[in-house]
Amino acid sequence: EALGPQEYTALKMEVVQWGAEAAPEVDAKTQGKKVFFIAATLRPETMYGQTNCYVGPNIEYGLFTINDKDVYLCTERAARNMAFQGTTQERGKVECLAKIKGNKLIGTKINAPFAHHGQVYILPMESVLPGKGTGVVTSVPSDSPDDYANLMELRKKAEYYKIDPQWAALEIIPVINTPKYGDVTAETLVKQLKIQSPKDAVKLAEAKEIAYKEGFYNGKMLVGSFKGMDVQEAKNKVRDEMIAAGLAFPYAE
């Protein structure tokens, strides 16, 4: 755990089509508005490789009015924090249009800013923590061992998790090369450490630590505006590009 405030990049992932269980609860209440899932990330430079986006199936989410046009979907805790960080039109004010449990959001199709796969689906991940970030985690299986292990689990047991296999079928995209682990660092590490499932918490923590350090200190960008550049240098440049394009904003806690 970090000691100071954690600086996230909050990614705006616009809803393209609500899943079958979400539509009856939220569609009418958000007519004429743009709704965005807000995903908090520490690795903005990896967003080219998004293949899906995770919510906690048992977490309660809210749809919060941000201004006249925009509605953000995240935990209430995160919406309150945002209201004091200049995100909302009126400081400190959040209006909740609807509440909805994570499992009902599964299968919703959203835009994935900067990603090779322009649109991705909402899928469940048990390890999403309600008290961290926004409770929405965009998935980059090439560079996040957690994301990779969970995606493999969903692919193996689609029926058990009640998902359409197509929602978890988007191809993994190489984003960063590391000298030790190649073009898909997380996938390589999960295989090397013989991680079998998202429940292998100890090994996953190890893989996460290695992937994070290796990517940050030795990684080079394989794609995007800063292709060929060291990750250390590209990270904030990609972040700035996303913010300038109106596709992300800073979020701290």
What are residue 156's phi and psi, to 5 degrees? Answer: -70, -40
State the Cα–Cα distance between residues 41 and 239, nearest whole angstrom: 10
Does 153 sit near ligand A2H (CB under 6 A)? no
Kindly identify the residues of this chain, within the stretch 157-196, that bind ligand A2H according to CB under 6 A: none
Answer for which of 128, 189, 190, 248 binds ligand A2H (CB under 6 A) is 128
Q: How far is the CB of 12 from ligand A2H (least distance, A)?
A: 15
Residue 92, class by beta-carbon neighbours within 10 Å (0-12 exposed, 13-18 middle, 19+ buried)? Answer: exposed
| Binding of ligand A2H by 116 (CB under 6 A) | no
* Helix-helix angle 145-156:185-192, to 10 degrees: 70
Nearer to ligand A2H, 67 or 185 (CB): 185
Tokens of residue 154, six digits: 């969903």
Interface residue with ligand A2H, options 20, 96, 129, 245 (CB under 6 A):
129
**CA 215 to the chain's CA centroid:** 18
The site string for ligand A2H over 30-49 (x = CB under 6 A, - otherwise) reads ----------xxxx--x---
How far apart (Å, rounded) are the C-alpha atoms in residues 203 and 198? 10
Q: Quote the strand ranges of 75-226, DSSP E.
A: 95-101, 109-111, 119-124, 136-139, 176-177, 220-221
**Is 231 an interacting residue with respect to ligand A2H (CB under 6 A)?**
no
Assigned token pair, 22? 């979400």
Q: Which is nearer to ligand A2H, 30 or 103 (CB)?
A: 103
Contact 14, 110 (CB under 8 A): yes
Shortest distance (Å) from residue 168 CB to ligand A2H: 15
147 binds ligand A2H (CB under 6 A): yes
Nearer to ligand A2H, 3 or 28 (CB): 3
One of 62, 135, 198, 219 touching ligand A2H (CB under 6 A)? 135
The reply to whether 140 sits near ligand A2H by the rule CB under 6 A is yes
Q: Which two tokens stand for residue 222?
A: 């394989």
Residue ranges that bind ligand A2H, judged by CB under 6 A = 6, 40-43, 46, 127-129, 132-133, 135, 137-140, 143-144, 147, 208, 212
